[in-house]
Amino acid sequence: MLLLKLFFAFIQVGLFSVGGGYAAIPLIQEQIVNIHRLMTLEEFSDLITVAEMTPGPISINSATFVGMRIAGVPGVLLCTIGCIIPSFCICLTLAHFYYKYRTVSGVQVVLGAMRPAVVALITSAGASILMLGLFQAEIYDVVISDIRVVELGIFAAALFLLRKFKVSAITIILGSGAAGTIIYALMGAI
C-alpha cells in the first residue's frame, strides 16, 4: 500500500514538474513531506543537498533517495519508474510528431525561431555555473575581489583544451575536479 502511494506520488511529481530541476523541489516536498509524511522537512533538506552533490536530475535523485529510505530497492524502482512514466509518454508522442512534421517548411519557420532561445538558455546556464565556480555567488551578489584564482585558471585551461585540442567533455569535467582538489590539497586549503 505504501509502495503504491509512493508510486502515485512520484507520477504526480513527474507530471507536474514543468521547467526543469528546481521546479520539481516544491512538488516533491508537497508530496513527500506535506501530504504523505514519508519524510521530515530536515531529511528533505538533506536530500536536496545530496542531490546537488551528485550527478543526475534532481527528481530522479529524490525518487531514488525517498524510495531507498522507505522501502529499499523495490522502493527505488517504483519511485523512479513512477517519476519518468509521464515524461516518457509525453516525449514519445512529441518525438513522433516532431519527426513526422519537422521537414514541413512552416514547421521549420517556427522551430527556427526557437533555436536562438535555446542557444541563449544554454549560455545562461553556463554563465550561472561559471559565477558559482569563480565567486561562489549568483551574478547580483558577485564581489570582484572574491574571485577564486584556482577556478579561474582551471576554467581558462579547460576552455583552451576543449577548443584547441578537442579534448572530450567528460575528461574535462572529471579532470578539473581532480586537478582542483590536488591544487587545494597542496596549498593546504582542505
Q: By C-beta, is 35 or 90 nearer to other proteins? A: 90
Q: By C-beta, is 3 or 15 nearer to other proteins? A: 15
* Residue found under cell 512529441: 94
* Residue found under cell 510528431: 97
Q: How far is the CB of 82 from other proteins (least distance, A)?
A: 11
CA 38 to each of CA 9, 17, 41, 52, 172: distance values in angstroms, whole numbers, following the listed order: 11, 20, 10, 21, 39
Q: By C-beta, is 35 or 129 nearer to other proteins? A: 129
- Grid cell, residue 26, equals 516544491
Q: Return the biggest CA–CA distance within the chain.
A: 61
Q: How far is the CB of 120 from other proteins (least distance, A)?
A: 4
Q: How far is the CB of 5 from other proteins (least distance, A)?
A: 19
What is the rounded CA–CA span in Å between residue 46 and residue 56? Answer: 16
What is the rounded CA–CA span in Å between residue 83 and residue 17? Answer: 10
Q: How many CB atoms lie within 10 A of CB 185?
A: 10
Alpha-carbon 88 to chain mean position: 17
Q: How far is the CB of 27 from other proteins (least distance, A)?
A: 10
Q: How far is the CB of 101 from other proteins (least distance, A)?
A: 11
